[in-house]
Structure 1
Amino acid sequence: MYILFAALLGLILGSFYSVCASRYGTGKTIIKPARSECPQCGHQLSVLENIPLVSFIIQKGRCKHCGVRIPFFYPLIEIFSMAWAVLAALHASSPAEWGALMIIGGICLVASAIDLQTFLLPDVLTYPGAVVILAASYAGVLHIDFIQSLLGAFIGAFALWAVAALYKLIRKIDGMGFGDVKFMLMLGALTGLDHLSIFVLIASLCALLFSIISLRKKVGISTTYIPFGPFLASGALLTYLYGNQIAAAIQ
């Protein structure tokens, strides 16, 4: 029952996360308009049209009003949110840890979705996320030593900033946004210094795999850049859950 509750809550929160991400930078807020609407025709969704994932499947991925295909962006966030809620529930040793992981995962999902759409990682997410993680570590809610968390945050952020600065010095162009550095402040706190290298390795491999698939399928982003935030988030979350096992496997 606990896992089922986690899955259902994850789906519901995922629907909320998709609203947060899709409305960022549009002048809309998470409370106005009060009801979700079709991104194409503006039709306000009824309750039956707004059931997380279920409505998308029943309507075959199309708006019931105008028939235009609904971006897969929305159900994908709901699926990832559900998956994270279940994984966090399976690994958390207490309700407090699960609650903290749900908050952290939610911030990561919204930030990643915004980065995919806009190449921006908002300060309103990254800085509070770092505070939440450090506070949870200090309180003993997360299974990570506070000093390790603190070192992971600042050394990780500094290392990423140094790489970005060196790239700009050599190539004379920006290779990474400063938002990634601030996101690293948050995510480095989650993995700690000991697992920082594992986190960066997973994030880099995920980004490399995405780039290869994109090139093979000619999925063109209009520039040569790819948003690194989603891969940083994936690497950090996976490292928190499986870092010890990965470290043992590669030794």
Structure 2
Amino acid sequence: MNAPRPLPFVRLLPVLALAAAGLARAEFASPPPGEYIYQGGNGALRVKPNGHFDITTIGANAHTCALDGNVARGTAKLDDSSCVVNFTVDGGTVKVGSNGADQCRDSCGARATFEGTYTRPAPACTDKAVAASRQGFKRRYDARDYAAALTTLAPVLSECDKTLDWISKGWMRNDLALTQYKLGDRAACLQTLAPLAESAGKSDEKIQEEYPPADAEIYLPVVRATRTNLKLCRG
């Protein structure tokens, strides 16, 4: 039996070219001007046309990061420190990292970080747009136009999942679930609350044990509302 012939080298060229292109895409680059939302909705990166940027994030137990500087060719050295912040642009996202210098921690509390992925929000998912949708929902709900209220808020929860913070999501789920209950759709109400049901089944004391103090304080009202609405929808 003849031994199999090796593949011609030319067939490997496209693979090598793709790999090289991937490396090129991973190079540092200055983000286009605009606002980007930190992963989980827990902060923002704002970039001005002149290259000035500022970052604010929030981590566990309300610890925060706050820093600013000027970015050029994808890097920025923070004033009077050895910390270098770097930016990698990939479509509508910006990955922010650092050179690992100890002084990079000076901008953050113990449980917060500015490193991670920032996403340019869809037009309907900017802070201003989300606030307008929630206000529109409340007007329609208070007017007992529950069908219109539902169609006002439901798209925000589904389309803005990556850029909404966890507490906002919790309140939106409760608002939508109660609206679905008012419309007589108990199954939809229970489905909307399903991601919160496990927490709702725990005592306040258990929530306080599992979460840092500041997080438990802002999460417990969401949990209590969920318990009430689950009872309504279970009938």
TM-score normalised to the size of structure 2? Answer: 0.30
TM-score normalised to the size of structure 1? Answer: 0.29
Structure with more helix by fraction: 1
**Relative contact order: is structure 1 or structure 2 higher (C-alpha 8 Å, sep ≥ 6)?**
1
Structure with more strand by fraction: 2
